[in-house]
Amino acid sequence: MALLRLAAHPCLSVFVFLLLLVVHALAQPQPNDAGGCNGILLTYTLQGRDKIRPLVPAPDSQPYAFRATATLRNSGTRPLRSWALLLTFVHGEILVTVDGAVLTSGADLPYNTTAADAAATSLTGYPQTDLLTPIDTAGDLAKIQATVNLVGTLFAGPEPFQPLPSALSLADPAYACPPATTNVSAGSSLSTCCAPLTPNTSTSASEETPRRRRAGDLVITYDVLQAHETTYLALVTLDNNAPLGRLDGWQLSWAWHRGEFISSMRGAYPREVGAGACLYGPQGRYYEGIDFSKVLNCDRRPVVLDLPPSRADDADIGRIDHCCRNGTILPKTMDAAHSKSAFQMEVYKMPPDLNRTRLHPPAGFEVRGASPLNPEYACGQPIPVSPSEFPDPSGLASTTVAVASWQAVCTITTRPASASKPPRCCVSFSASYNESVIPCRTCACGCPASARSTCSTTAPSMLLPPYALLLPFERRAKEALTWAGEKRLGVPNPMPCGDSCGVSINWHLATDFAGGWSARLTLFNWGAEDMRDWFAAIVMGKAYDGFEQAYSFNATAVGNRTIFIKAREGFNFLLRETNMSGVDYPVPGKLQSVLSFTKKTTPRIDVVAGDGFPSKVFFNGDECAMPLRIPSQSAAKRGGIITMLLLGVATSALLLLL
């Protein structure tokens, strides 16, 4: 027995030891600590809050000043590039200072987190945009972890209630973040561990080092060319990659987040010149020796414009490649040499960045064009990319490499139809086999503003005789009425309103024969400005493959069923509306060309039934309003080729005459 007990004893002790081990393991805070996270650990901690005035009776509406810290730690095996953190605030938080990140939307502080449409507030890393892996950095916290300090105001009930965001996640589709949990022991922090969705591909440091550049409709590149202790020289380049994107008189702005200011600029100039804001600010106190009257701009959010062409060779402010074109940026298909703009500036830094190697780009870029035809852009935050290389200007086979480079990618925001910004151009259809023109849609570019206008904004536009397309809308009513009488068409009461478009485009189906067909495109400028370097794009359906050529425009099939059209060299003006002698109404600027198509490659198309009309038309990048119907061919005439040709000639002659 004693022997047996002796024998059992070691077994028992091993068992007890194992039991203790299991109990110990269960007692560990399992889920949220960094030890349990092999992905990206996100934590939001409310550091404290203090009641502030005004004191209000309703406890849930009482404002408090709060301080909070958000941290992101990469505990995984792949680097997290250009991180963005999503916080869903639910207590009416107003962010007043954000340190370690910027608002991804580029919005200014203070920022009302409930006013924006998006449910979550997105913060992008700044200046630390990337979180490397513990493996690549030997676990260096400074490189694998980012900390964002937030100060703001929130509206909530009294303590000990802890007003935390309702959700916390990464704005990176490559990661899945489970719902955040609160720390039970402290109660004031929220955390979650985001895991990569795709299994870990071996992304070693060497593969990641060259930062890939991204594509986008407009790419802003911020290159630091020379870096000094307190200043640096930056080259800012705007690159247009959108096939139909265009800017006239661009305006670029950004926000300085680290107290920087611009001492000089070449190739562009700030809309406001003056250093008042610096003189009385920390910059003025720090740089006592500087003559601030020579400092160009001290705004926290400067607005920069391109120089006019007359300054291109100015020894003081010009002489920069791609500068000085009045802010005109054209699509690459139109003119590759004019598809980018650039300028240089000298920037002064402030402590604690006074080191040649401490370089931070500004954030919150915004770009827009002066013309209502220009698209609207939304820009992301700048992200570091591999340094740009510049070929030697004197032709030597050497390249100069930038000290550091960043890129902000801007995308054209697709405008919801019939939103605040209506189209600026419209399309009318006509055809040789139908005497009537289908004019632009009623109110295509907006309805008349004046309350006393008595036209109908909903009635469909009335068919017109072809020559009426050359008349200003006010003159067309009489013609439309006479035409309706002749053709026995209905007349809406009240009559439909005009199209209010600055540019209208007529698509006239001119010929349709066994081997091919042709259309005539006419552009009308009803505005008071000449249009320089205009371009148009026509999106065709099945007929696209048969496109041959345009006769007096320079047209190319650029893919995606799109025919890109610009003027031949030397004829790049679409003139404004003018008063002509001999007529008592203003005459629009007009350009015309014939486009020919073959049916060899598209034998099955039915031109008359609709294949001969474009599905979309763009002018200077702006999508034009299309008519809702196409000219039809009366049953009697269908196939009556002689009648059709005769009619076609007559109609063509009319339109050409005027």
Ligand X SMILES: *[C@@H]1O[C@H](CO)[C@@H](O)[C@H](O)[C@H]1NC(C)=O
Helix (H, G, I), strand (E, B) or coil at 633: coil
559 binds ligand X per the rule CB under 6 A: yes
615 binds ligand X per the rule CB under 6 A: no
**Shortest Å, Cβ 276 to ligand X:** 27
User: Of these, 394, 493, 560, 581, which contacts ligand X (CB under 6 A)?
Assistant: 560
- Please identify, using beta-carbon distances, which residue of 478 and 568 lies nearer to ligand X: 568
Backbone region of residue 395 per phi and psi (left: phi > 0; alpha: psi in -120 to 50; beta: other values): left
426 binds ligand X per the rule CB under 6 A: no
- Please identify, using beta-carbon distances, which residue of 203 and 634 lies nearer to ligand X: 634
Cβ burial, residue 357 (10 Å; 0-12/13-18/19+): exposed
CA pair distance 135, 140, nearest whole angstrom: 9
Return the closest-CA partner of residue 469 out of 547, 543, 514, 521: 521
Measured CA distances, 310 to 266, 315, 324, 329 (Å): 14, 12, 8, 17
User: Of these, 179, 309, 351, 391, which contacts ligand X (CB under 6 A)?
Assistant: 309
Return the closest-CA partner of residue 434 out of 596, 637, 612: 637
**Shortest Å, Cβ 581 to ligand X:** 11
Dihedral over Cα of 275, 276, 278, 284: its sign: positive
- Please identify, using beta-carbon distances, which residue of 324 and 408 lies nearer to ligand X: 324
632 binds ligand X per the rule CB under 6 A: yes
643 binds ligand X per the rule CB under 6 A: no
Tokens 């009335």 belong to residue: 462
Q: Where are the beta strands (DSSP E) in 422-515?
A: 425-431, 434-438, 503-512
Binding characters for ligand X, 367-406, by CB under 6 A (x = yes): ----------------------------------------
- Please identify, using beta-carbon distances, which residue of 367 and 462 lies nearer to ligand X: 462
CA pair distance 212, 415, nearest whole angstrom: 29
Q: Are 421 and 369 in contact (CB under 8 A)?
A: no
User: Of these, 357, 394, 420, 454, which contacts ligand X (CB under 6 A)?
Assistant: 357
- Please identify, using beta-carbon distances, which residue of 128 and 183 lies nearer to ligand X: 183
Q: Which residue is nearest to ligand X (CB)?
A: 186
Measured CA distances, 163 to 121, 148, 185 (Å): 16, 18, 16
User: Of these, 47, 61, 114, 615, which contacts ligand X (CB under 6 A)?
Assistant: 114
94 binds ligand X per the rule CB under 6 A: yes
**Shortest Å, Cβ 293 to ligand X:** 28
Q: Which amino acid is at 56?
A: V
DSSP secondary structure string for all residues of 545-590? GGEEEESSEEEEEEETTEEEEEEPTT--EE---EE-TT-SSEE-EE
**Shortest Å, Cβ 523 to ligand X:** 17
User: Of these, 434, 506, 602, 620, which contacts ligand X (CB under 6 A)?
Assistant: 434
- Please identify, using beta-carbon distances, which residue of 249 and 281 lies nearer to ligand X: 249
**Shortest Å, Cβ 19 to ligand X:** 26
- Please identify, using beta-carbon distances, which residue of 47 and 200 lies nearer to ligand X: 200
58 binds ligand X per the rule CB under 6 A: no
Residues 255-294 that bind ligand X (CB under 6 A): none
8: Cβ contacts below 8 Å, ≥ 6 apart:
none
- Please identify, using beta-carbon distances, which residue of 454 and 560 lies nearer to ligand X: 560
Measured CA distances, 558 to 223, 226, 388, 623 (Å): 32, 40, 29, 17
- Please identify, using beta-carbon distances, which residue of 259 and 586 lies nearer to ligand X: 586
- Please identify, using beta-carbon distances, which residue of 45 and 82 lies nearer to ligand X: 45
**Shortest Å, Cβ 275 to ligand X:** 26
- Please identify, using beta-carbon distances, which residue of 31 and 259 lies nearer to ligand X: 31
Q: Are 485 and 622 in contact (CB under 8 A)?
A: no
Cβ burial, residue 93 (10 Å; 0-12/13-18/19+): buried
Strands of 303-306's sheet, edge to edge?
Answer: 268-270, 303-306, 251-255, 363-368
User: Of these, 9, 16, 33, 61, which contacts ligand X (CB under 6 A)?
Assistant: 33
Residues 570-609 that bind ligand X (CB under 6 A): 578-579, 586
Residues 182-211 that bind ligand X (CB under 6 A): 183, 185-186, 189, 191, 199-200
Record the tokens describing residue 103, joined without a space.
């608002």
Query: Of the listed pieces 12-20, 96-104, 271-279, 626-634, which binds ligand X according to CB under 6 A?
Result: 626-634
Cβ burial, residue 286 (10 Å; 0-12/13-18/19+): middle
- Please identify, using beta-carbon distances, which residue of 366 and 529 lies nearer to ligand X: 529
515: Cβ contacts below 8 Å, ≥ 6 apart:
598, 599, 600
CA pair distance 406, 404, nearest whole angstrom: 7
- State the pairing for strand pair 503-512/425-431: parallel
Backbone region of residue 239 per phi and psi (left: phi > 0; alpha: psi in -120 to 50; beta: other values): beta
**Shortest Å, Cβ 308 to ligand X:** 5
Query: Of the listed pieces 11-19, 144-152, 434-442, 517-525, which binds ligand X according to CB under 6 A?
Result: 434-442
DSSP secondary structure string for all residues of 148-204? EEEEEEEE---TT-----SEEEES-TTEE-PPPEE-TTTSSEEEEEEEESS------
How many residues bind to ligand X according to rule CB under 6 A?
38
Binding characters for ligand X, 461-480, by CB under 6 A (x = yes): --------------------
50 binds ligand X per the rule CB under 6 A: no
- Please identify, using beta-carbon distances, which residue of 438 and 469 lies nearer to ligand X: 438
- Please identify, using beta-carbon distances, which residue of 193 and 495 lies nearer to ligand X: 193
554 binds ligand X per the rule CB under 6 A: yes
User: Of these, 112, 147, 149, 592, which contacts ligand X (CB under 6 A)?
Assistant: 112
Tokens 């009635």 belong to residue: 459
- Please identify, using beta-carbon distances, which residue of 293 and 579 lies nearer to ligand X: 579
**Shortest Å, Cβ 325 to ligand X:** 7
Return the closest-CA partner of residue 612 out of 646, 642, 657, 648: 648
- Please identify, using beta-carbon distances, which residue of 279 and 558 lies nearer to ligand X: 558
- Please identify, using beta-carbon distances, which residue of 305 and 455 lies nearer to ligand X: 305
Measured CA distances, 520 to 102, 137, 432, 608, 617 (Å): 52, 65, 10, 15, 14
71 binds ligand X per the rule CB under 6 A: no
User: Of these, 65, 67, 69, 77, which contacts ligand X (CB under 6 A)?
Assistant: 77
User: Of these, 13, 355, 413, 615, which contacts ligand X (CB under 6 A)?
Assistant: 355
Record the tokens describing residue 454, joined without a space.
């008595």
Query: Of the listed pieces 26-34, 164-172, 387-395, 620-628, which binds ligand X according to CB under 6 A?
Result: 26-34
CA pair distance 513, 507, nearest whole angstrom: 18
Binding site for ligand X (CB under 6 A): 29, 32-33, 77, 94, 112, 114-115, 183, 185-186, 189, 191, 199-200, 243, 308-309, 326, 355, 357, 434, 436, 438, 532, 554, 559-560, 568-569, 578-579, 586, 629, 631-634
